[in-house]
Amino acid sequence: MRSAGEIARDVREGASSAGRELEIALSAIRARNDELNVFLYVDEAGARLAAQRVDEAVARGERTGPLAGVPVALKDNLCQRGIPTTCSSRILEGWRPPYNATVIDRLVAAGAVPVGKTNLDEFAMGSSTETSAFGPTRNPLDPTRVPGGSSGGSAAAVAADMTPLALGSDTGGSIRQPAALCGIVGVKPTYGLVSRYGLIAFASSLDQIGPLSRSVADAALLLEVIAGHDPRDSTSLPEPAPSLRDHLDDGVVGRRIGVVRELIDGADPEVVASVDRAAEVLRAAGAELVPLSIPELRLGLSAYYLIAPAEASSNLARFDGVRYGLRVDADDVAAMNEATRTAGFGAEVKRRIMLGTYALSAGYYDAYYGQALKVRTQMIEAFRRAYREVDLLLGATTPTVAFPFGSKTANPMSMYLSDVFTIPTNLAGEAAISVPFGVGEGGLPVGVQLLGPGRSEARLLAAGRVLELAEGRP
């Protein structure tokens, strides 16, 4: 598949059309969606109307946006007016939002063509897309293995050449981890850089929307479109979208990059080898590599699995059988609420709601949730100290390549460890990118992760571009 940038250029110049590009995407979806279960809903009629509007604007000689005619897949926790939005949960089955998420409005304004809604772990709680109420998504590179999660459907859409771009959300690694397992690029932006308005919340202080793409350049293009201040999001940074594409070829000359022991320890040997080779590529490109230890990162998993479930237990209280989606009738309101939530939520969502409610309960708040917040502060300070010494950090995205279905579902802790290298960035609210670099078991892709302080996306993308070029990607 051509890049998003190439498609938009061809549409603007008349060498192609939005309608033609959409039909290519729809054909690819029809060819493999039954096998892979990537899309939960394909909006063919709406997408054709959006493509027609782009083509009409081009014919009139009007200026079209930077994503003119580019098909884009949307994770099914992003509200889209009149389109089923389920969070892959029975409790929201059939619900159609009355409004768009800000990122969807910005995509359409940029000329993009939203194609449909992709599968995810239920309410974004998972690392494999196995907890979806509508069945798992399969990895296009090896359908016996998971695509990662929770944005597994969005990552698989790009990896299977169904769409050149997709949007995901990242609460503890849910963009970067599936990007790594599917061999594509995934960016977790600085918290507040991209509006969360219309994103159905999992953990509000951690969630962030970001791009999935085949190339660093396409990720930069999409991030420029969706970033920037939104008054409807109280956590939105009060500044315009950053200029990213202009800095893609800045390279890493003079950059100090820390190779973080805690972002490698415990990873498979092939993953460690890929990180070591990435460090050598960056050194050869002019960076100074600095061995670094940040011991506080080892506490990230424990803190995350108190903070995120605590916020989820509050956010998901709104799904009660009264206002949204599923309703299971019973003799009174309390019984109806209990019956609806029992039938509507899956096992992993129930597990995290109970864990979060316990952590927030009287007598336990200080010992668990309060303590986790203190650990989070220590981690933020540890990152701050590290970035006084170096410009960026380097490590693995995931400890392993894509794993077989069912291999971790019986042991929640084993599943949670899939995010051990990605969670710290979310707790700190900073930026990171996963770039495919090397292969591991079975020839499956390895993701290398670059981390930076808040608002460092341009530096991260430039460094990611260096690695991409070293792998022979255009």
Q: What would the pLDDT profile of 382-438 be if each residue is shown by its tens digit?
A: 999 999 999 999 999 999 999 999 999 999 889 999 999 999 999 999 999 999 999
Query: Beta-carbon neighbour count of residue 276 at 10 Å?
Result: 13
The one catalytic residue in 132, 174, 236, 456 is 174
Q: What is the DSSP letter of 240?
A: P
Q: What would the pLDDT profile of 194-232 be if each residue is shown by its tens digit?
A: 999 999 999 999 999 999 999 999 999 999 999 999 999
Give the mean model confidence (pLDDT) for residues 42-51.
98
Whether 222 contacts 4, CB under 8 Å: yes
To the query of whether residue 408 is one of the catalytic residues in this protein, the response is: no
Which spans in 152-208 are helix H? Answer: 152-159, 176-182
Whether 383 contacts 299, CB under 8 Å: no
Give the mean model confidence (pLDDT) for residues 132-160.
98
- The model's confidence at residue 307, banded by pLDDT at 50, 70 and 90, is very high
Q: What would the pLDDT profile of 58-113 be if each residue is shown by its tens digit?
A: 999 999 999 999 999 999 999 999 999 999 999 998 899 999 999 999 999 999 99
Whether 186 contacts 155, CB under 8 Å: yes
Q: What percentage of the chain carries pLDDT values higher than 70? A: 100
Cα separation, 68 vs 20, in Å, equals 12
How many Cα atoms sit within 13 Å of 180 on the Cβ side?
Answer: 36
The one catalytic residue in 128, 150, 274, 456 is 150
Cα separation, 293 vs 298, in Å, equals 10
To the query of whether residue 75 is one of the catalytic residues in this protein, the response is: yes
The full set of domains in the chain, from first to last, is 4-247 (3.90.1300.10)
Residues forming a β-bridge with 16: none
Phi, psi dihedral angles at 114 (to 5 degrees): -65, 130
Beta strands across the sheet bearing 288-292: 39-42, 113-118, 71-75, 165-169, 209-213, 185-188, 431-439, 445-452, 392-396, 256-260, 288-292
The one catalytic residue in 75, 117, 188, 408 is 75
**DSSP helix/strand/coil, 250:** coil
Cα separation, 160 vs 339, in Å, equals 39
Give the mean model confidence (pLDDT) for residues 432-455.
98
To the query of whether residue 293 is one of the catalytic residues in this protein, the response is: no
pTM over 0.95? The answer is yes
> Tell me, what's the pLDDT at 473?
82
> Tell me, what's the pLDDT at 311?
98
Q: What would the pLDDT profile of 249-303 be if each residue is shown by its tens digit?
A: 999 999 999 999 999 999 999 999 999 999 999 999 999 999 999 999 999 999 9
Indicate if the pLDDT at residue 459 is higher than 80: yes
Average pLDDT, the chain: 97
CA torsion angle 299 403 471 173 (round to 10): -40
Whether 290 contacts 311, CB under 8 Å: no
- The model's confidence at residue 474, banded by pLDDT at 50, 70 and 90, is confident
> Tell me, what's the pLDDT at 1?
76
Indicate if the pLDDT at residue 33 is higher than 90: yes
Whether 132 contacts 122, CB under 8 Å: yes
Give the mean model confidence (pLDDT) for residues 434-463.
98
> Tell me, what's the pLDDT at 323?
85
What is the residue-wise DSSP string for 403-443? -BTTSSTT-HHHHHGGGTTTHHHHHHT-EEEEEEEEE-GGG
